[in-house]
Structure 1
Amino acid sequence: MPDAICHVHEAPDALTLAQDLARFVAERLQEGVSQRGAALLVVSGGSTPIPFFKALALTAVDWPKVSVTLADERWLPPDHADSNERLVRAHLLQGLASQARFVPLKTADALAAHGVPELEVALQALPWPADVVVLGMGSDGHTASLFPGSAQLAEALDDGRTARCLAVSAPLLPNVPVDRVSLSKRALLDTRQVVIHITGLSKRQLLEQAMRAGLADPLPITLAWSRANIPCQVFYSN
């Protein structure tokens, strides 16, 4: 994996990786609190971050001064099994981290597009830039809910776009086929640090492919290292 693009932290197993990442993120959050009196963490859903969430929840940070939000959300009730909010509340906002302020990406509106204006207001009020944005990557190269071939992808990646979130239509299987809200590139890169958190050889190979220059159709994950002034870290294990 090209270390010149993103600095690579490799661990022997997923649990060690989760603990390493928790320490790294906690240090960045505490730096934010110490320097600015507040910190912001953006996290992603899926199964990969669960050990990381559990480790971070037990880590000493000035949590009452930390805000947490999501890179994306499925437009489902917050108690639904596929809700990222449910995942974060169950595994991250526990223990010491239960004192953090959580800003969800779901409203009571029936449609994601109808909820975007309210979410935009909530996002604008957060203490940007984020101290850390932790991204996952799907087997198709998507990150957040920015999917290859999506009708909303060009809008989400538009460097001139000022909005922080947008509604995204349901992706194809094997992704959960429900409408979503995703942070835009503008929001995902309004950060002091981008982290890509992946496990498994197939995802490593896909990430290495995405890092190769000259791809005719770059995968959405390439946004993570598209700004030279924003450090990108990869936390990886088999």
Structure 2
Amino acid sequence: MALTQQHFESPDALTSSFAATLVSILEEGINTRGRASLVVSGGRTPVGLFQTLSQADIDWSKVDITLADERWVSEDDDASNTRLVKEHLLRNKASQAHFVSPLTDDEDANSAIAEVESRISSMAQPFDALILGMGEDGHTASLFPCSEQVEDGLNMSSGKICIAVKPTTAPHQRISLTLPALLHSRNIFIHLTGDKKKAVLLDALENDTEIQKPVTAVVNRAPVTLMWAP
């Protein structure tokens, strides 16, 4: 287990430092390899980070951005992570970034796997930076402990990039990157705010299996930096 913890006095201080770190990572990717890739997560926590990043003065036309997971809803739905990313990150200077959508017109996410895997495979890889969140049940991306698909998502030898997921404790079918796809990243961050979520993460790492708290599967296999503020 390799978890580095960076604690900040406030969410604003976290946002400022985290944005600067990500800009440096993306610039290195562009300068070294010609393109850079960023995998983000949805939810309320990263909104401020997205807004700050959108103003960063880098060559966004050479940056590929996708989501670690997405709810299988239309883009105009309030629950859509794609909508969140487009409203808060893919604007201002970052409007020039190349967004790799995890959504198709298929009614069922299972029917979209081949297409979405093809899109993800076209991105600059390993991903330069991956930003994960975590639910209070220990899920990360859409690898839910309650879902029948969790073992498939955590399978390191499946060869799958994406899976369709139907959690039993949360609404909407999902599409999610698998654990091996998530781990194919040069820099992995878990972005959390609040004492409760940090306590869940640290307790999970001490006391739970990967099936019980899938976030531990990431930390068990790769260097991860926790970016946390109260």
What one-letter code is carried by the residue in structure 2 that aligns with 1:133?
A: L
Helix, strand or coil at the partner of 1:7: strand
Aligned position for 1:220: 214
CA contact (8 A) 2:138 2:212 kept: no
Correspondences of 1:2-81 after superposition (within 5 Å): 5-81=2-78
Q: What is the alpha-carbon distance in structure 1 between the residues aligned to residue 44 and residue 54 of structure 2? A: 16
Q: What is the alpha-carbon distance in structure 2 between the residues aligned to residue 120 and residue 7 of structure 1? A: 30
The one of 78, 82, 85 aligned to 1:85? 82
Aligned position for 1:203: 197
The one of 90, 95, 100 aligned to 2:97? 100
Q: Deviations over 1:125-176 (max 9, x none)?
A: 111100010000001110000111310010010010111101001431xx3x
Q: What is the alpha-carbon distance in structure 2 between the residues aligned to residue 51 and residue 223 of structure 1? A: 27
Aligned position for 1:183: 177
Q: What is the alpha-carbon distance in structure 1 between the residues aligned to residue 133 and residue 52 of structure 2? A: 17
Aligned position for 1:231: 223
How many angstroms does 1:77 deviate by?
0.4
CA contact (8 A) 1:8 1:235 kept: yes
How many angstroms does 1:116 deviate by?
1.1
Q: What is the alpha-carbon distance in structure 1 between the residues aligned to residue 167 and residue 144 of structure 2? A: 10
Aligned position for 1:141: 138
Q: Deviations over 1:9-28 (max 9, x none)?
A: 11111111111111111111
Q: What is the alpha-carbon distance in structure 1 between the residues aligned to residue 91 and residue 54 of structure 2? A: 6
How many angstroms does 1:120 deviate by?
1.1
CA contact (8 A) 2:146 2:167 kept: no
Q: Which runs of 4+ in 1 moved over 2 A?
A: 214-218
Q: What is the alpha-carbon distance in structure 2 between the residues aligned to residue 83 and residue 61 of structure 1? A: 27
Q: What is the alpha-carbon distance in structure 1 between the residues aligned to residue 82 and residue 101 of structure 2? A: 6
Helix, strand or coil at the partner of 2:58: coil
What one-letter code is carried by the residue in structure 2 that aligns with 1:204?
A: K
CA contact (8 A) 2:6 2:225 kept: yes
RMSD: 1.3
Q: Deviations over 1:167-209 (max 9, x none)?
A: 001431xx3x100100001110000011000000000111110
Q: What is the alpha-carbon distance in structure 2 between the residues aligned to residue 153 and residue 170 of structure 1? A: 9
**Could you say if the C-alpha distance between residues 17 and 161 of structure 1 is closer, same or farther in structure 2, counting changes exceeding 3 Å?**
same
Helix, strand or coil at the partner of 1:166: strand
How many angstroms does 1:231 deviate by?
2.7
Q: What is the alpha-carbon distance in structure 2 between the residues aligned to residue 85 and residue 215 of structure 1? A: 31
Helix, strand or coil at the partner of 2:2: coil
What one-letter code is carried by the residue in structure 1 that aligns with 2:229?
A: S
Q: What is the alpha-carbon distance in structure 2 between the residues aligned to residue 102 and residue 8 of structure 1? A: 29
How many angstroms does 1:124 deviate by?
1.1
Residue identity over aligned pairs, in percent, reads: 39
CA contact (8 A) 1:192 1:231 kept: no
Aligned position for 2:129: 132
Q: What is the alpha-carbon distance in structure 2 between the residues aligned to residue 126 and residue 100 of structure 1? A: 12
Unaligned runs of 5+ in 1: none
